[in-house]
């Protein structure tokens, strides 16, 4: 769905109405949660902001998390959801319309495809895939079944990012040829060394259920609770964080995929119980005519970098979380130091040229005020609530939102290209005909 300014205002009005709506039972969308971890609990809160959603069932591989999910949903809605032993029970239940997949990444493809085949609409957390080729399988399944897939990079549903998109599309930045985007942290938790609940052990954690399609390994609470640190389940910074950055860049720039990617990654500091880098730099080149620098370090977060900086010939925007700044280009550079080295006569003639006077001496003439730019801050509902409003709309209208299976495939595939480049120490290319990473 295209999001114009008018569209966005209409969306806001509808969102406000939706949250006050009284809904009859058959208007409701019944969505089961597959995975009830840290993100799923945020998603439950956001979903329950919409009275049209019900959460009748939850599934998780750690007992403590289903208990908390029951607690949370009972607290908000008065009744606790059923706890199912396996996600396939939710897929077999005809009274369930949709599922939220919020498990570790190595499970996403299988759960999404099985849910689509079972006739469910799917909200899948980012990254949609664990490997690039899985995206093609998911796209085929969505096409075959006619069900909705929405992917969970919620930032693009925020007002901030939609306003940035309008500015770019309206030509306010001129031609954008360079984008910088970063995601920096400096804590153990930021580096995914999360605390492990004290009651976790073989009685409360279902290890086989967690492993699923991943290689068999001995029971490990570190792997279970800090799965982002291990390659069997995650692509580290690229699939966890760059995927958000790429989703936004594709949305704001109307871009599909980079043709070429080069990246370097290193593990400098968080070496315990970890395989993936804590520092990553990547360059992505887009056929739409711009280059992207993505970077992330888990060893410093004081840098004043905004999350995104879009650099255009006429202006710049910096997009942070909940804040947008715009400033126009104000370039003052003349050729004085060049022509002062010419023979005097030629220099004098140069300055007499009317074109030079207009272009180079303009700022010396009349004093004037120039546009110093703008700052906007976003208030109100969290982007995840808005993101779910779009999911609800798609379920009802049967029209997919912008962040559908193709958008999810492409954002995740950028991350897979980054990781492949890091490992292979070479440039990785995209095959636009195949819609997958170029091989051979």
Ligand X SMILES: NC(=O)c1ccc[n+]([C@@H]2O[C@H](COP(=O)([O-])OP(=O)(O)OC[C@H]3O[C@@H](n4cnc5c(N)ncnc54)[C@H](O)[C@@H]3O)[C@@H](O)[C@H]2O)c1
Instruction: Give residues in contact with ligand X (CB under 6 A).
Output: 34-40, 59-62, 65, 87, 102-105, 107, 125-126, 152-154, 209-210, 212, 227, 240
Secondary-structure percent of the chain, ordered helix, strand, coil, rounded to 5: 40, 20, 40
- Chain position whose Cβ is nearest to ligand X: 37
Compare residues 93 and 285 and give the one whose CB is closer to ligand X.
93
Burial of 124 (0-12, 13-18, 19+ CB in 10 A): buried
For residue 423, give the 3-state DSSP assignment. helix
- CB 101 to ligand X: min, Å: 8
CB of 197 to ligand X, least distance (A): 10
> Which among 87, 140, 134, 135 is positioned nearest to 115, based on CA atoms?
87
Backbone angle region of 175, left / alpha / beta, with phi > 0 → left and psi within -120 to 50 → alpha: beta
Cβ distance to ligand X smaller for residue 87 or 310 = 87
- Minimum CB distance to ligand X, residue 217 (Å): 14
Judged by CB, which is closer to ligand X: 43, or 142?
43
Closer residue to ligand X, CB minimum distance, 36 or 96: 36
Task: For ligand X, give the closer residue by CB, 65 or 185.
Answer: 65
Instruction: Name the minimum Å distance from CB 227 to ligand X.
Output: 6
Task: Output 154 or 281, the one with its CB closest to ligand X.
Answer: 154
Q: Smallest gap, in angstroms, from Cβ of residue 209 to ligand X? A: 4
CA dist 408 to 246, 275, 402, Å?
10, 25, 10
The length of the chain in residues reads: 440
Residue 241 Cβ vs ligand X, minimum distance, rounded to whole Å: 9
Spatial contact of 250 and 411, defined as CB atoms under 8 Å apart: yes
């Amino acid at each position: 769905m295209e999001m114009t300014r008018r569209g966005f205002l209409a969306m806001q009005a509808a969102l406000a109405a939706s949250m006050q709506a009284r809904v009859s039972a058959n208007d409701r969308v019944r969505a089961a949660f597959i995975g009830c971890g840290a993100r799923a609990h945020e998603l439950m809160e956001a979903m329950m902001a919409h009275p049209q959603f019900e959460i009748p069932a939850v599934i998780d591989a750690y007992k403590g998390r289903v208990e908390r999910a029951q607690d949370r949903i009972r607290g908000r809605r008065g009744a606790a959801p059923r706890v199912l032993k396996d996600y396939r029970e939710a897929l077999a239940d005809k009274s369930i319309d949709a599922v939220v997949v919020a498990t570790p990444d190595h499970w996403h493809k299988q759960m999404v495809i099985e849910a689509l085949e079972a006739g469910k609409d799917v909200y899948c957390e980012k990254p949609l895939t664990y490997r690039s080729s899985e995206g093609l399988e998911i796209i085929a399944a969505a096409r075959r079944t006619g069900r909705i897939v929405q992917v969970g990079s919620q930032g693009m549903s925020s007002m901030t990012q939609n306003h940035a998109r309008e500015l770019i599309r309206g030509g306010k930045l001129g031609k954008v040829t360079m984008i910088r985007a970063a995601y920096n942290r400096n804590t153990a938790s930021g580096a995914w060394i999360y605390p492990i609940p004290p009651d976790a052990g073989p009685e409360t954690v279902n290890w086989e259920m967690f492993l699923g399609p991943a290689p068999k390994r001995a029971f490990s609470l570190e792997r279970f609770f800090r799965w982002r640190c291990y390659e069997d389940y995650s692509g580290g910074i690229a699939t966890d964080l760059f995927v958000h950055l790429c989703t936004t860049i594709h949305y704001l720039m109307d871009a599909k995929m980079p043709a070429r990617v080069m990246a370097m990654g290193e593990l400098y500091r968080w070496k315990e119980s970890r395989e993936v880098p804590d520092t990553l730099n990547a360059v992505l080149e887009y056929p739409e005519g711009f280059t992207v620098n993505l970077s992330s370090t888990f060893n410093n977060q004081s840098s004043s970098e905004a999350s995104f900086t879009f650099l255009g010939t006429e202006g710049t925007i910096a997009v942070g979380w909940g804040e947008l700044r715009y400033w126009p280009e104000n370039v003052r550079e003349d050729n004085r130091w060049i022509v002062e080295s010419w023979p005097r006569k030629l220099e004098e003639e140069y300055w007499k040229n009317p074109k030079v006077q207009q272009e180079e001496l303009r700022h010396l003439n009349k004093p004037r005020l120039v546009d110093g730019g703008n700052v906007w801050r976003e208030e109100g509902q969290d982007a995840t609530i808005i993101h779910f409003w779009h999911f609800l709309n798609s379920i009802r209208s049967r029209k997919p939102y912008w962040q559908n299976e193709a958008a999810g495939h492409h954002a995740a595939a950028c991350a897979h290209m980054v990781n492949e480049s890091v490992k292979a120490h070479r440039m990785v290319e995209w095959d636009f005909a195949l819609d997958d990473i170029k091989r051979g």
